[in-house]
Amino acid sequence: MIERVSRRFLDYLRLELGKLGIDDISPSQVMVVLTIGQGEVAVRDLLDRGHYGGSNASYNLKQLVENGYLERSASPRDRRLARISLSLKGQMLCERLRLLDETSQFGPRTDGGNDIDLLTTHDTLRRLEQWWNDSLRYGGVLIASCMSYSFIAQDLVNSLL
């Protein structure tokens, strides 16, 4: 369920990029840009923070630099380490998406709306992620426990849809 929701979000993002007339960046690459945010970040930290991996991440970073969304430089302490930051084009894209998000049905509300449900879902998914991380780091995962957490997350996602 989580994977399907994630794919639908990327499909939605692709649609919105098309409406904005942006065709030189993929939804996955947009997620990289949004993960970087303001400031400068080491490529290694970005990969850890965004859970990107392998050659796909390198390809996306290269494309983002070539298309002008990112600026890449060597670390002042160790020239072998790359540091990246958003270019002006990348910052403008983030701002346009932020404005789009504010005007969507999931943007800020004055009546409370589904805010509590969304916060509860987010909190549950973060706890689930932490539980899985801890289980992998400190010992095996019990399949029955994993399934019960998966059902909880699925129920939360279904209640929001």
Q: What pLDDT tens digit does each residue of the chain (161 aa) get?
A: 788 888 898 999 999 999 989 999 999 999 999 988 888 888 888 877 776 766 688 889 999 999 999 999 887 777 778 889 999 999 999 999 888 877 765 555 555 566 788 888 888 888 888 888 888 878 765 554 555 556 666 666 666 55
For tokens 């346009």, name the residue. 96
Q: What is the reported pTM?
A: 0.68
Furthest-apart CA pair in the chain: how many Å? 51
Q: Helix H segments across the chain?
A: 2-19, 27-36, 43-50, 54-66, 88-103, 115-138, 143-160
